[in-house]
A and B are shown apart, each in its own frame.
Chain A
Amino acid sequence: MPDARSTQTRPLAAPVTSSARATRWRFAAFWGLPPLLWQFAFFVVPLGFLVAMTFWSVKSFRLTPDATLANWTFILNAGFFRNAYVYTFWLAGLTALLASVIAFPAAYTLAFRLKPATRRFLVFMLVVPFFTSYPVRIYSTQIFFSPQGIINAALHPFGLGPISVLNTPAGTVIGYLVLTLPLVVLLQTFALANVPRTLIEAAHNLGCGRLRTILTVIVPSARVGLIVAATFAFVLAFGDYVAPLYLGGSKPPTLSILIADQVKSGNHWPRASVVAVIMIATLIAVMTAMLALAYGRKGGKR
């Protein structure tokens, strides 16, 4: 790896001998190569292998290298796949929207209404969920919403309920929110905290009402962060396996459930690979579109 910075200092340094240069190259290679090789061997190659496998075939329960399009035509023409695709996309989109809307007032409060010390503590608290077992959190949520659970026990005295969201799409969305809400609140808080205070004060001084300040000053200034937060929510929900299985009862199945079923019980890896590759393509498309939305139009702020 050529070393631009050190060459600037060469006149000051001791004369560079060829052995010193060799040392420098060995040094650069020692630090530069391991991450490259590791991520190439265990990230790029497996994903490449996944793509290659979409063209393989399964002959009498054995994987055979092949160059067939049969898996692609099978999956793309399968009604169950199309339904799962539309369902997963719609639910992930709905989650991104709901999480953004639910999180916004909380992020607004954290960014503008609380003392810095309180904000710092709550921000740290929001990191906690990432390090608690997500399946266990889903299990707890499942108990909450079960027919004899706390939610229904609390609703009963008011003559409400019983509500049954378990094994319905609503259950899946609740699970997705358990997964995504902490991250969305966190990212929105950072986005809002970066909006220049002077801009908001100027709006107030010019007689702009609170709601109008939020809609015309704060949201546009924090646009990039808000869109990134929604995109993360979409990506996480789109790929999640636990919520649709345990809260949604996999009725109907999502794409990740299709993958797991094809691999674990169906034992048809090439078809699972096709679903996985389509998921990756979808996510790349969504992320590109969202980034264009975030940075495009009105010049955006970089």
Chain B
Amino acid sequence: MNAGLLRRGALLIWTALVFAFIFAPIVSTIVFSFNADRFPSLPWGGFSLQWYEAIFADASVQRGLINSLIVAGATSVLATFLGFAAAYVDYRYRFFGKMAYTALVAMPPTVPVVILGVAMLTFEGRVGLSGTLTGVTVGHVVLAAPFAMALIRMRLADLDPGIERAAWNLGATPWATMTGVVMPFCLPAILASVFLTAAVSFDEFMIAWFVSGVNETLPVRVLAMLQGQVSPRINAIGAIVFIVSMTLVVVAQILIGRRLGRRSKEA
């Protein structure tokens, strides 16, 4: 009995330590972004917003933020459209080479981003896209579309194929069935994937670093700042990026959670 308690305690402590290791960098980023001292160490040097004031006054950070938002916005719409299309095709059709088709759409996240970055740079250099926000967006869509596909495909798994067939039999065209039945059913997943793919793009730094040229996105700016000396301004940017991405992810999570909640109520 005592040994069992000890074992349980040891497991809980170990788990707490693992979570502490994972979350310490995130928590300290936020905490030290409000610290008055230049070098982040304990004891705490007093509350201050000076690092936030510093980054909001920094034109390069402002431009980076705007660029990131543009790229994330464009990426989320395009990636969600492509992800939806691929998920629907996987759900609806059977054809020769379907495995290859879904694999092609799903594969990019398994390739290291440093390699995707080089490949994008060499290719986009040829077609005149490198150094533009369009070029960054193109790379981000490739990377983010698989996530959209996975999210929407999970939702479609709950749609009885018979419903679509019933609509056709009642005379609805495929287009009417799509906009009247399939899309409304997938709406939570579609919205979730808009937010999720925006978050993927907003945090992506490697492809953007290779491709963006002078049009730096915010993570690329951070990467450049890391080369320099220790500065709590990095913490302040990190905290802002954290708030933006977490808002996106939490909204996505709520949209997916609503679906799960509804399904479990039906069951």
Contacts and interface: CB of A to CB of B under 8 A. Distances in A.
Interface stretch (A68-76, A162-170, A218-226, A234-242): A234-242
B110 A14 contact: no
A150 B25 CA distance: 12
Contact of B241 (A1, A40, A132, A141): A132
B246 A131 contact: yes
B145 A238 contact: no
Contact of B89 (A32, A242, A259): A32
B258 interface: no
Interface string A246-262: 10000000001001100
Nearest to B39: A148
A41 B250 CA distance: 33
B161 interface: yes
Given A2-B95, A137-B25, A31 B18 contact: no
A273 interface: yes
Chain A binding surface, main DSSP class: helix
A18 interface: no
Contact of B19 (A6, A23, A44, A122): A122
A133 B246 contact: no
User: How large, as a class, is the contact surface on chain A?
Assistant: 35 or more
A177 B21 contact: yes
Nearest to B7: A210
Interface residues of B, number: 88
A40 B32 CA distance: 44
Interface string B1-36: 000000110011011001101111110110010000
A32 B88 CA distance: 8
A239 B226 contact: no
A153 interface: yes
B245 interface: yes
Interface string B79-93: 001110110110011
Contact of A135 (B85, B92, B219, B245): B219
Given A182-B22, A260-B114, A272-B118, A28 B93 contact: yes
A39 B104 contact: yes
Given A4-B94, A131-B246, A153-B42, 17 more contacts: A2-B93, A14-B171, A35-B149, A39-B82, A46-B116, A46-B120, A49-B123, A105-B11, A128-B23, A133-B242, A135-B226, A144-B24, A210-B7, A240-B114, A241-B114, A256-B114, A269-B122
- 8 closest cross-chain pairs (CB), A and B: A239-B112, A136-B238, A46-B123, A140-B25, A46-B119, A35-B86, A131-B245, A137-B25
Interface of B: 7-8, 11-12, 14-15, 18-19, 21-26, 28-29, 32, 39-42, 81-83, 85-86, 88-89, 92-95, 101, 104-105, 107-108, 110-116, 118-124, 126, 138-139, 141-142, 145, 149, 161, 165, 168-169, 171, 173-175, 178, 199, 203, 205-206, 210, 219, 222-223, 226, 230, 234-235, 237-238, 241-242, 245-246, 248-249, 253
